[in-house]
Amino acid sequence: MVDSDCVVIQGSNMAECHPVAFRWPMQAKLKGAKLIHVDPRFTRTSAVADIHAPIRAGSDVAFLGGLVNYVLQSERWKRDAFFREFVVNYTNAATIVGDEFKDTEDLDGVFSGLMRYAPSIKEWPLDGFVGQYDTRTWGYAPAASGRPSPPPPAGPPFDPLVRSLLTPPPRRDETLQHTRTVFQIVKRHFSRYTPEMVERVTGCPKETFLQVAETILANSGRDRTTSFAYAVAWTQHTNGPQTIGCCALLQLLLGNIGRPGAGVMALRGHASIQGSTDVPTLYHSIHGYMNHPSALKRHDSLRDWLLTETTPRGYWANTPKFMVSYLKSMYGAAATKENDFGYDWHPRIIGDHSHLPMFVAMNEGRVKGLLCIGQNPATSLNASVERKGLARLEWLVVKDNWLTETATFWQNSPEIKSGQLRSQDIRTEVFFFPAAQVAEYDGSFTNTQRMLQWHFKAANPPGDCRTDLWFTHQLARRLKKMYAESTLPRDEGFKHLVWEYDSDDPHERERGEPDAHKILKEINGYYTDQPDRHLAGFGDLKDDGSTTCASWIYCGVFPAPDRNLAARKQADPPGAPGAQLDWGWAWPANRRILYNRASADREGRPWSERKKWVWWDGAKWTGYDVPDFAPNKAPLSKAAPDAIGLDALSGSDPFIMKPDGVGWLYVPSGLADGPLPAHYEPAESPVPNPLYRQQSSPVLKYWKLDGNALAPLGDSRFPHIMTTYRLTEHYLSGAMSRWSPWLTELQPEFFVEISPELAAEKGIGNTDWIAVSTPRGRIRAKALVTRRMRVFTIDGRTVHHVGMPFHWGYQGLSTGDAGNELTALVGDPNVSIHEGKAFVCNVEKA
Amino acid sequence: MAEPMGFFTDTTVCIGCKACEVACKEWNELPATNGGHGTLSGDSYDNTRQLDGIHWRHVKFIEQFSPDRSQGRWLMMSDVCKHCVRAGCLEVCPTGAIIRTEFDTVVIQSDMCNGCRDCIGACPFGVIGVNPVSGTAQKCTLCYDRMKVGLEPACAKACPTKSINFGTIVDLKKMAQARLGQLQQAGESRAYLYGDDESMLGGLNSFYLLVDKPQIYGLPPDPQLPSRNLKASAVWSLVGAVVVGFMSVFSFRNRGGGDV
């Protein structure tokens, strides 16, 4: 971001929530870059921005769609050869979409294939869909018809299996004139997102919107780049992934991907949340973003899993190598070619097991126990529902630094205080484990740039506090002991699970702490027969069991027993252009900018001297960064049509993870709610959708249960828009901050921010107690009356906007109601993220 | 004596994160007010409100919005002791507890302070207060202990956006002039430096880049030393003495006349 000429922060309050990372946009600004903040509130980020564009919460797609339309209609974009060259060659703009696809333009707000949702499995009726799409009509038009030839038997080797998946590449029209090219579909789709429409939907004055659009366009092109940064204010919506996709679409049109100072930056909300999705705590994915084996897909055998999950063109053609190496890491010597490398021992998922449905399941008594490590669900989404779920568990383990609300919910929650629940009736047995702090153990952080940085133990944790590593290690050891004598087939996997992380340090061994380097080695990988020989990179992975590697994307971080690259701390010399390649290690292969082949033109020359990053020197790819491309593949070399993997892509296809080697403006597969973004109103909104007859996402997830009612459209009892957020001074539910007096004195009390206009209407004075309510609950808070909040005019009507930090709860030095008493279990169909950033409420003087 | 050292605080890049406040408290082991149990001030995001004996850094928040929001600014400024070249606190301290260090900074030696509070009244910026733990007057030391071993002050170290810059006064002045030029060139005509030259108390070794009048930030436009009144009061003392002298002469004369 320090190389950006313009930084747009939308869906994020970067200065407040990522103050340390915010040094980079600020350094760009000091060099003359423009800083734009698009947000309902005037925040600490807006305070240092050149432009603050106010939009109401839940209208980001309308704003971004307006930018897309502005760009496509602008003379500059049509005239500048750079944009055309980038878009024709590096995106799927020229690809022709199948005849059966119908857009929202054709179907008044929905895409082709919408149907009723039918649960696929009776054991888990908790997926929450209100509708679903048959996505088959969204695909590219095939060049020739015909199913792939019958797949050959399973491997290894698996190359014949991958080859059997090849289908003819899709048709293209590089003039972009064909009416069914992605480009023409995109252009038609966004044509209704005019500046006037943006103002009607978002409430942002047209002039301000145009100022933003002009600034972004002026700072994009051959010699200039614009970056976007977002955080959970884009994700926490019933169409969150579509918002991010809309930004990616815009950035591809502007040539702002794969280049220095460009991109779409996901600001992760915790120190290593990137790491926890890479080496996943996600239910639906195994290491390195491979899909978790599922009972609902054709995943019956390793061969079936590979046939379902492998794409023959692009780098994912290597999936068999990643998967077999992963299974070797799970089951070690027991995993053989004959038993499908233990694939049958691997657990399968039977539906959506993410946070929201798991707490619904808990309320239904379907869940026996919960391990809560670094989580505080007692103040989380629709908190009362979550606490009632906790109350139906048989046992609950809380491992944290302090006694969080979750640890004491049975004793002092609002339900106990109100008499709704009585402590003696709650059968949940609660175990509390005091946790060590990060400076008390060795380990790695993976930051938002996918960069691993090693941290070292500075001191022993006090008393009985133990690390998360210790807890997991000890739990696994004890469970393995318990299962050791089992003869049940279902326990085979657990019996074969490899678990050898005991520390060699006598002191740590005595404390029961595992060795973090042994875990890093398992993640990095090694040669199965020579465990001391670490793998140097994922290019060395094999599909025959001769390599063992938990997470292919991390392969290379620990290439030799004495070389932990995450521990490097060598900065580039001041002033020299570079990518800081000797500072930490970024996956994949220490590349700092993904798809950086796009920083050079088709012929491999930098787009401009100023934006030089990676280029072809006549014999190989070179540059400041590690090239994200086959190192010796000449820029204009042709794709081999019958080849698999990278050979199936040409020398000018930068997006090597994509089967067609280009960035996707239109998403033909992989999304549940449409191949293009469309503005839908949040599940709760005070206004009808001004853009389409379809009010909100037709396929959102909603869980119908007591205490989770939604306000119908235009409900006069809840006329205001509410959004939630974090403050710099506190962290998430406050479990790490409301116990520190140095932080609580900075923000001592729960408050809700309202405009002076709303305050006057309701007779509320600054710091008065107010009551805020939704159909789910009611909270009390102090009012902070400020002109940083404003009144919006949405489609001709006046709408008040209310803002609420969600840091409080009933434990700690500073206590207060939890903002999440007000939120709902309603979410997005792709990833089940809840809609915490836009809902409706009422405000009254308390 | 080492080179004069100090702070240059560029308020235009401050994001109000208060990392300086917390880093200062952590390093200097300062307690929170009332153990961290407080009430919401309602004054923007400022809940510590002032510099005093346990708040040696303080971030001010100033909201400036027109009723229709067409104009809007949210100014933030991390305030601290100015380490004046001519320091009022040092001038009035009766015990000699307040010293000028080899870095040209002003430090209160807690073990020599008798808690008389004279310095509190003498400081034109209101930065000093009594720390209830020690019972003595305290304020920013510019991390004298850290500087002694070649470390920068905790607040400057923690500042993520380089709003707080630490260095030699000579370097900081160059940096400040360059930044001022850049801002003025970009059309920010309201930008100016506060306390960077000798006209203000001989120069503030902690000086600021501001974009509004000093009073808006709670800073005096023309801070004075307690001794500023010395000359005037000396004249008045002289005049008084003369008047009294004459009066006594006349009064003697009158009395003498009366006796006759």
The domain that holds B171 is classified in CATH as 3.30.70.20
Could you read off the pLDDT of A196-242 as tens digits, one per residue?
A: 999 999 999 999 999 999 999 999 999 999 999 999 999 999 999 99
Task: Give phi and psi for A499, each to the nearest 5.
Answer: -145, 85
Give CA angle at A427 (A422, A433), nearest 5°.
105
Helix (H, G, I), strand (E, B) or coil at B95: coil
Query: Which of A171-175, A200-204, A576-580 is predicted least confidently?
Result: A576-580
Domains A6-80+189-266 and A701-845 fall in the same CATH topology: no
pTM here? 0.95
Confidence at B250, pLDDT banded by 50, 70, 90: low
pLDDT of residue B240: 77
Mean pLDDT to the nearest integer, A31-43: 97
Query: Is the same domain home to B194 and B241?
Result: no
What does DSSP say about strands A526-527 and A530-534: parallel, antiparallel, or unpaired? antiparallel
Q: What span, in angstroms and rounded, lies between the C-alpha atoms of A97 and A140?
A: 4
Query: Residues with Cβ < 8 Å from A191, sequence gap 6 or more?
Result: A69
pLDDT at B163: 97
Taking contacts as CB-CB distances below 8 angstroms, the residues of chain B near A751 are: 40
Q: Name the residue with tokens 């059309």.
A: B187
Closest residue to B74, CB basis, from A20, A745, A788? A788
Summarize the confidence of residues A808-836 as an average pLDDT. Answer: 97
Cite the beta strand spans of A171-268 per DSSP E.
226-230, 264-266
Q: Which of A42, A204, A787, A801 best probes binding to B when mutated, by most B CB atoms within 10 angstroms?
A: A787
Average pLDDT score, chain B: 93
Q: What angle do CA A796, A802, A803 make, to 5 degrees?
A: 140
Nearest residue on chain A to B30, alpha-carbon basis: A742
Query: Is A687 in contact with A799 (CB distance < 8 Å)?
Result: yes
Asked if residue B109 and residue B218 are part of one domain, the reply reads yes
Confidence of residue B171 (pLDDT cuts 50, 70, 90): very high
Same structural domain for residues B137 and B172?
yes
Q: Which residue has the tokens 């002694």?
A: B148
Element (H, E) at A400: strand A395-400
Q: How far apart are CA A681 and CA A691, in angstroms?
A: 10
Higher-confidence residue of A270 and A404: namely A404
Q: Flag whether pLDDT at A846 surpasses 90.
A: yes
Q: Burial-class residue A276 by CB neighbours within 10 Å (0-12, 13-18, 19+).
A: middle
Residue B189 reports pLDDT greater than 90: yes
CB contact B12 to A (< 8 Å)? yes
**Cα distances (angstroms) measured from residue A35 to each of A25, A27, A257, B256:** 8, 11, 18, 87
Integer Cα distance of B37 and A815 in angstroms: 10
The overall average pLDDT reported for chain A is 96
Closest of A619, A686, A690, A677 to residue A201, by C-alpha: A690
Give the 3-state secondary structure of residue A217.
Answer: helix
Residue B253 sits in the same domain as residue B194 = no
CATH topology of domain A6-80+189-266: Dimethylsulfoxide Reductase; domain 2 (3.40.228)
* Torsion sign over Cα A25, A26, A27, A31: positive
Asked which of A65-69, A460-464, A554-558, A609-613 is least confident by mean pLDDT, the reply is A460-464
Q: Residues of B with CB below 8 A from A32's CB?
A: 186
Contacts of A740 in chain B (CB under 8 A): 36
Please name the residue that has the structure tokens 């995106």: A91
Structure tokens belonging to residue A220? 């994009």
Task: Give percent above pLDDT 90 in chain A.
Answer: 95
pLDDT of B251 above 80: no
- The alpha carbon of residue A786 is apart from the nearest alpha carbon of chain B, in Å, by 7
What is the torsion angle, in degrees rounded to the nearest 10, for the CA atoms of residue A612, residue A618, residue A621 and residue A622?
-50
For chain B, the domain total comes to 2
User: Which chain B residue is nearest to residue A766, measuring alpha carbons?
Assistant: B42
Task: Check: CB of residue A240 under 8 Å from CB of residue A100.
Answer: no
What are B28-67's pLDDT values in tens digits? 999 999 999 999 999 999 999 999 999 999 999 999 999 9
Which segments of A1-113 are extended strands (E)? 6-10, 34-38, 51-53
Inter-helix orientation angle A206-218/A60-73, to 10°:
60
Write the residue in A23, A42, A746 that is nearest to B21 by C-beta: A746
pLDDT band at A147; cut points 50, 70, 90: low
B193 lies in the same domain as B128: yes
| DSSP code, position A170 | P
Between chains, do B160 and A741 touch, taking CB under 8 Å as contact? Answer: no
A790: nearest CB among B33, B45, B69: B69
Closest CA to A66 of A252, A214, A178, A181: A214
- Report residue A680's pLDDT band, with 50, 70 and 90 as the boundaries: very high
Parallel, antiparallel or unpaired: strands B136-138 and A797-805: unpaired
Q: How do the domains of chain A map onto residue ranges?
A: 6-80+189-266, 701-845
**Interface residue A633 vs chain B (CB under 8 A):** no
How much is the average pLDDT of A744-756?
Answer: 98
Percent of chain A beyond pLDDT 70?
99
Query: In this complex, do B47 and A766 lie within 8 Å of one another by their Cβ atoms?
Result: no
Residue range of the domain that includes B200: 5-224
* Residues B175 and B252 both lie in one domain: no
How many Cα atoms within 13 Å fall on the side-chain side of residue A616?
Answer: 22
Q: Before A156, cis peptide (omega within 30)?
A: yes
CATH code at A701-845:
2.40.40.20
* Predicted-assembly ipTM surpassing the 0.90 threshold: yes
Among chain B residues, the shortest Cα distance to A727 is held by B17
φ/ψ of A522, rounded to 5, equals: -65, -40
Under a CB-based contact definition with an 8 Å cutoff, are residues A254 and A83 in contact? yes
Ordered DSSP codes for A248-314: HHHHHHTT-SSSTT-SEEE--SSTTHHHHHHTT--SSEEGGGEEPPBTTSS-SSHHHHHHHH--SBS
The C-alpha atoms of residue A101 and residue A86 are separated, in whole angstroms, by 26
**pLDDT for residue A153:** 78
Q: At what angle do helices A405-412 and A383-390 cross, to 10 degrees?
A: 80
Q: State the pLDDT confidence band at B260, using cuts at 50, 70 and 90.
A: very low
Residue in the block written with tokens 């005096």? B220
Largest Cα span, chain A: 77
Q: Are residues B232 and B201 in the same domain?
A: no
- Considering only alpha carbons, which residue of chain A is nearest residue B24? A742
Nearest C-alpha neighbor of A73 from the set A213, A260, A233, A226: A213
Judged by CB atoms closer than 8 Å, whether chains meet at A786 and B12 is answered as: no
Q: Nearest CB to B13: which of A26, A742, A749? A: A26
